[in-house]
Amino acid sequence: MLFPTITFAVFFLLVYAANWLLMPRLRLWKWMIIGVSYVFYGWWDWRFVLLLVAATFVNQALGVQIARARRRRGGERAAKRWLALSVIANLAALGYFKYVDFFAVNLDHLLSSFGLGAPLPLLRILLPVGISFLVFRVLTYTIDIYRGELAPSSTLDFGVYVAFFPYLLAGPITRAREFLPQLRSPRDPCNVDAGRAFVLILGGLAKKMLIADYLSTHIVNGVFASPQSFSSWETLWGIVAYSVQIYCDFSAYSDIAIGISLLLGFELPENFNAPYTARTIQDFWRRWHITLSSWLRDYLYIPLGGNRKGRGRTYVNLIVTFLLAGLWHGAGWTFVFWGGMHGVGLALERARADARQARGLPEPGATAGARVLQRLAVFAFVSVAWVFFRADSIGGAFAVLWRLVAGLGSIGSAVTWPIVGLVVLGIGIQYVPRRLIERLEGGLASIGWVGQGAVLALALFLINTLGPQGAAEFLYFKF
């Protein structure tokens, strides 16, 4: 069930009414929200619901065992074993659904290069939507219980946390300790930040329908499908357009998910903060997919040693973290290459900062011109890395990049004024001051429900009129 569809609009209106009617009876509300979330997730394939059920009961049981072991004197070792079982079980499920065929294909290629064996059978397993997000969410539950930062919740509350439909498919990766406390008491409809919710939902729909989907169909898909057909100029715009597309598409889902949750009375963490205004790669990851980068920091980078074991180990930890982040995104060498680019870039950036600090040099970017150049350099690096993220193969990525040189001498006709305008708009909206957005949210909140309904209806009409026929799936559904 896609957010920008009539089907979801009807679904949400029914859920919204049930949400506030049943909220005073909190236990009944919890059963209702689990049920509608299962309907939402099972809309693609009812078998996916079994994964949610299994994730709920297995991780709840393991979380309880971890907490019991921690309470016993000398139970640290037992708690660690239960935690290890949780990590293995969840990663095994992720590996089975997402990586079995990937490793089978690569093992077959390796054996074939030595003239050994016959082709290995491929299972062609149906990939549940959003399984990577699900695994990262449930791991925060058992890991935080082990760390003593969270107590086990009831199975019913944990079931709501696992299945809550707004973030179910593509995040934000909401941690258990952020969400579960919100289930302890009924939400107050008088405290709903409707102005912010409507701005997020409408802004998300506009980014998805008017910018991301248009750029995808009018230039990006063509450049990556047959790069030899495009000039250097067209290829350059295709690469930049994909940078804008993936930002507008993914941030749109996060914005809509956060807005929908607000209307239901729940706060989800921010996931994007103007990433293309970043002046360093590190700053980019503080702004892009914030819940993923913070998850990687807290549950992978720091446990690996972080920056506590010397400079060399710090650089290695950065590279390993982002290689695994690339593999988390998809079962393909293009994702590993993309993650490796960011890991090496971060390591080099950290090494340069360490060298400057050792020499007593000030931080770069003292002038406005230097800051502009920094932003351009980071955007260029990120855009080149996105080529590998988007391409079907490493060779396909290099074929696109090669056209930047090989396609000189012709301008072509693929770059139209709407494409230029949408690319500029997609980047420009990230420079809109936060105070202007807050004023818009406050203005919407002040006009009451009737006015908000009229604004929402008008905005949806314009988006439906100006946007493409039908909504494409969000890019991050396959992760």
Kindly list the catalytic residues: 329
Contact 11, 38 (CB under 8 A): no
CA dihedral 155, 157, 163, 168 (to 10 degrees): -130
Is residue 97 within a helix (H) or strand (E), and if so which, with residue range? helix 76-98
- The residues near 170 (Cβ < 8 Å, ≥ 6 apart) are 130, 133, 250, 253, 254, 257, 474, 476, 477, 479
Of 196, 168, 202, give the one whose Cα is nearest residue 4: 202
Crossing angle of the two packed helices 232-264 and 368-390, in degrees rounded to 10: 90
How many helices (H) and strands (E) the chain has is answered by: 21, 0
Tokens of 303: 């446990």
Show Cβ contacts of residue 353 under 8 Å, excluding neighbours closer than 6 positions: none
Q: What is the CA radius of gyration of the chain?
A: 24
Tokens of 429: 């909206």
Distance of CA 169 to CAs 118, 195, 444, Å?
A: 37, 24, 28
The total number of residues written for the chain in this structure: 479
